[in-house]
A = this chain, B = another copy of it.
Amino acid sequence: MTMCSAPGKVFLFGEHAVVYGKRAIACAIDLRTTVEVSRKSRGVHIHSAFKDEPDKNLYIKTAVKRMQKCADIRNVNIAVSSRIPVASGLGSSAAVTVATIGALNEEFSAGLSKKDIAYMAYQTELEVQGAASPTDTFVSTMGGTVVVPDMRTLPPITCGIVVGHTGISKSTSRMVSRVRTLKEKYPDVIDGIMDSIGDISARGEDLIKQNDYRSIGELMNVNQGLLDALGITIPELSLQIYAARQHGAYGAKITGAGGGGCMVAICDDKNCKEIATAIGRSYGDSFISKPTAEGIFIQ
């Protein structure tokens, strides 16, 4: 029996622009999905926490199918539990895919490296979704703070993180497609905005190395405006973002595709509680999290 867990993530900078090859920075957070595999059963059985999310089981099934090419996996029981809200931009699909592959790799001695796991998880997301970014699967596998698309790791950030969850489900592919339509209609304008988001990530990378969280927050606020310019924000996310800023966050922005899902604020640890309360009062739910250096983890 093997238990393997993998974390969710937030984007500090660069979502949407990363689709067009611009730099982005993501950070693993200590919300995790855990997959337990054991050889008790005959055939492949999946017990998933994602009862209402048949899609999530597709990630698990596809991961198993791919792992079956690397090892003799015929009789296996797979039990999944997760603390990551689904369809929220926190990388829940990536975490379940990574943790599934990691657990099978360990239990059946498939011999995959961390990089192999990240790559196979990316291929799995590609197969399930038709299109995918390698970011979520890479961050979930490696943990810490990661610069995409070149997948460099930075020192872990050490400030507080508060996530606001609107509970409004969103479709990443629909939001990406909406931005593409806008970009095709106004290429000069939107290309310029994508460049600016890339510039923010570049500057943000320096600030992360300097642990300058106040300035990182300031740039997250600028990035949020650019996401608003791309048309992917909604009133409920704005309410949460304003609430976080007004209660002492260094900065706050949407994380992920927008149109629903989550926002993220960074702050001094001592302000997390007040900010989380303020976000929860403004709309939806909130939870306090923290950055984690730990990616895939065999228990």
A-to-B contact residues, CB < 8 Å: 182, 185-186, 188-190, 192-193, 195-196, 199-200, 202-203, 215, 218-219, 221-231, 233, 235, 238-239, 242, 246
* One of B189, B195, B196, B218 near A219 (C-beta < 8 A): B189
Q: Which residues of B contact A215 (CB under 8 A)?
A: 185
Given contacts A182-B222, A186-B222, A226-B226, 15 further A-B contacts (CB under 8 A): A185-B215, A186-B203, A186-B219, A188-B199, A189-B196, A189-B203, A190-B222, A192-B196, A193-B222, A196-B229, A222-B229, A225-B229, A225-B231, A229-B229, A238-B238
> In whole angstroms, what is the CA distance A218 to B238 when docked?
19
> In whole angstroms, what is the CA distance A196 to B225 when docked?
13
Q: Does A221 contact B231, Cβ atoms closer than 8 Å?
A: yes
Q: Does A196 contact B199, Cβ atoms closer than 8 Å?
A: no
Q: Does A235 contact B231, Cβ atoms closer than 8 Å?
A: no
> In whole angstroms, what is the CA distance A190 to B171 when docked?
30
Chain B: minimal CB distance from A105 (Å) = 41
Given contacts A189-B196, A192-B199, A238-B242, contact A228 B224 (CB under 8 A): yes
Chain B: minimal CB distance from A178 (Å) = 12
> In whole angstroms, what is the CA distance A189 to B205 when docked?
13
Q: Which residues of B contact A218 (CB under 8 A)?
A: 182, 185-186
Chain B: minimal CB distance from A7 (Å) = 29
- Can you report 18 residue pairs joining A to B where beta carbons are below 8 Å apart? A182-B222, A186-B203, A186-B218, A188-B199, A188-B202, A188-B203, A189-B200, A189-B219, A189-B222, A192-B199, A196-B229, A222-B230, A225-B231, A225-B233, A226-B226, A229-B229, A235-B239, A238-B242
Q: Which residues of B contact A195 (CB under 8 A)?
A: 192
> In whole angstroms, what is the CA distance A195 to B182 when docked?
18
Q: Which residues of B contact A239 (CB under 8 A)?
A: 235
Q: Which residues of B contact A228 (CB under 8 A)?
A: 224-225, 228-229
Closest to A193 in B: B196
Q: Does B224 contact A229, Cβ atoms closer than 8 Å?
A: yes
> In whole angstroms, what is the CA distance A188 to B228 when docked?
20
Q: Does A225 contact B222, Cβ atoms closer than 8 Å?
A: no
> In whole angstroms, what is the CA distance A39 to B212 when docked?
64
> In whole angstroms, what is the CA distance A152 to B246 when docked?
42
> In whole angstroms, what is the CA distance A200 to B200 when docked?
20
Most buried by B among A200, A202, A203, A228: A228
Q: Which residues of B contact A193 (CB under 8 A)?
A: 193, 196, 222, 226
Chain B: minimal CB distance from A99 (Å) = 36
Q: Which residues of B contact A185 (CB under 8 A)?
A: 215, 218
